[in-house]
Structure 1
Amino acid sequence: MSLLGAIEAGGTKFVVAVADETDPDTVIKRESFPTEDGPKTIKKVQAFFDQYDDIAAIGIAAFGPIDVAPDSKTYGYVLDTPKRGWSGYNFLGAMKAWRDIPYFWTTDVNGAGWAEFVSGAAKNDDNLVYLTVGTGIGAGIIQNGKLLQGISHPEAGHIMMKKHPEDTYKGHCPFHEDRCLEGLAAGPAIEERWGRSAKEIPDDDLAWEIEAYYLAQAAVTYTAILRPDRIVFGGGVPHRENLLPLVRKSFAEQMADYLAVPPLDEYIVHVENGDDAGILGCFYLAKSLVDQSQAQAID
């Protein structure tokens, strides 16, 4: 039996897992541990996979920014990041030096977005924006069944925002302050602005109207540029059930009937794979490498 490996590499914790190549939806074994510096963390990752000799491929979905351009000299590296011990670390190179097998290297949001595309809220779609709203904001974008990538991966959490007329918050982003989506709408921005976490804010608080305004504004922008079949929200902040109805309402107001979209309760939706999305996406991406290799062998 060949296995698939998954590495969901978060800034706070790493999750590693294996699944049967023929059944990537079922986790055989999973472990998690706090993220330390690069070398210490990868040593733990490798120790987990050392238990298995028959891993066919591993999908890696990593916090960023990372270099995803195959022709780049720093392909597979974590780029400049505030996470201590990771800037300039050759993540993919360390894994290849440990075991030379196929690796699918991408961002954490791409991994979760791919899971939603394969088996989640967008399983019947060809075009998807998956937006995670938590400690930061990022997007995995799928166009015509493929992950969207230019010279690097999208940084859709840093699009510029028009401020809500009642919002005086100075912004949390160290680069853009109150000018970008992440600086205004990520979890730390909510907590700093209101003095309490998203979990503690009542449903009828103005905080949610302002949060919905920014997320809806972003959804309007993604809709105008990408014309996706669906926008899927994941991460900790959208766990609040009152939020997406407010986002849909604000989206309709801001779009002002300019573009036709599906019914909003079908167009702007919650993640279906929940906290398993990242790991499942890694399995699916690893399996795509195995399938590609097998197809080439037949040819």
Structure 2
Amino acid sequence: MSEALVAGLELGGTKCLALLGRGQVICDRIVVPTTSPADTLGQLETQLRLWFQHEPFAAIGIGSFGPLALDRTRPDYGFITNTPKPGWADTEVAGRFGAAFGVPVGFETDVTAAALAEHRWGAAQGMTSSVYLTIGTGIGGGAIVNGRPLRGFLHPEMGHVRVRREAGDSFSGICPFHGDCLEGLASGPAIAARSGRRAQDIPSDDPVWRPVAGALAEIVAMLILTLSPERIAIGGGVGCGQPHLLSLIRARVATMLADYVADMDINALERIIDTPCLADQAGPLGTLALALAAIEETAGAG
């Protein structure tokens, strides 16, 4: 199954990718700017048609910015819903490409796609449950449970969880919806608003990292206690660009768990909380993983 030729689409806020691949080998890719849905999706469909005419692919995986409608029982399944990105609200995506090519389509958030790639080929291979948490311009998370993406009526929105704040942290937060949710407290723009500097320009011993690590440790401890993941891979521009941050998060998580979970000491947390193996390729490869999962789901249903 991993050798099936599949296509992937990664829809981002500023650019979109179309990929063709076998397993985790990307055979070809193009990048188009994210403008209007008609223009951007039209360019992506044109490229897929060129590839399909040369050699038909077996499925399409789509990892997209959200929010997304992922409940297959609802009429809006496969749509980007109430996104703040101008012009993209209520845009049909999965149904459009499924109808155009007549192949199975996997459709998830971009961060869930990355989580699936890490589960299939990266840091969470062979594990029952895992989480991919990205910290960058925003904060998002995808969870894999029993080998499948976790979702219900909504996909996980881990970045908008309200977390306890470090004692003395008076920063108001920048999230336009919630103020001091996790994204409002610890994303790249939040760090810049706190300090007046970009995250990459802040020394590792700067005091600003303490409340940031504290907020992130809150969500990590919560995930350990609720989803029991065997691996939490922390990626994104801030997550991968600040190696010292992982140590701070692990130490705070150990304090928060307070020996409640047996054998969950700092050594165990070093194994559980780590960086992704696939780095910045987790998202693109995640679209191929979604396509392969769609083939497997279709075969299982048949």
TM-fit CA distance, 1:2: 5.8
- Alignment partner of 1:29 is 2:28: yes
In the TM superposition, what is the alpha-carbon distance from 1:56 to its structure 2 partner? 1.1
Shift of 1:153: 0.8
CA shift digits 1:82-119 (9 cap, x unpaired): 10111111122332343222110111111000011111
CA offset digits 1:118-173 (Å, max 9, x no partner): 11111021011111111111111111222111112111111111112232211111
- Tell me the residue number matched to 1:243: 245
Listed as ranges, the matches of 1:174-189 within 5 Å are 174-178=176-180, 180-189=181-190
Equivalent residues, number: 293
Q: Which residue of 2 aligns with 1:158?
A: 160
* Cα deviation 1:202-255 (Å, max 9, x = unaligned): 111112222111111111111111111121111111121111011111111121
Contact 2:104/2:298 (<8 A) preserved:
no
Does the Cα contact within 8 Å between 2:61 and 2:294 map onto a contact in 1? no
Counting aligned pairs with the same residue, the percent is 38
Are 2:56 and 1:50 equivalent residues in the alignment?
Answer: no
* 1:80 aligned residue (75, 79, 82): 82
Matches within 5 A, 1:1-299: 3-20=5-22, 24-53=23-52, 54-178=56-180, 180-239=181-240, 240-260=242-262, 261=264, 263-294=268-299
What secondary structure does 2:73 align onto? coil
Check the 8 A contact 2:135/2:234 in 1, yes or no: yes
Instruction: State the 1:196 CA deviation.
Output: 1.4
Q: Partners of 1:203 and 1:59 in 2: how far apart?
A: 38
Greater displacement, 66-75 / 31-40: 31-40
Query: Residues 38 and 91 of structure 1 are in contact (CA less than 8 Å); yes or no, is this contact kept in structure 2?
Result: no
Question: Which residue identity does 1:185 align to in structure 2?
Answer: A
Determine if contact 1:115/1:278 at 8 Å carries over to the other structure: yes
Can you give the 5+ residue segments of structure 2 that lack an aligned partner in the other structure? none
Instruction: Tell me, in whole angstroms, the C-alpha distance in 1 between the residues paired with 2:168 and 2:276.
Output: 30
Q: TM-score w.r.t. structure 1 length?
A: 0.93
5+ long unaligned stretches in structure 1? none
4+ long deviations beyond 3 Å: 291-297
| Distance across 2 between alignment mates of 1:133 and 1:12 | 17
Distance across 2 between alignment mates of 1:168 and 1:13: 35
Partner of 2:174: helix, strand, or coil?
coil
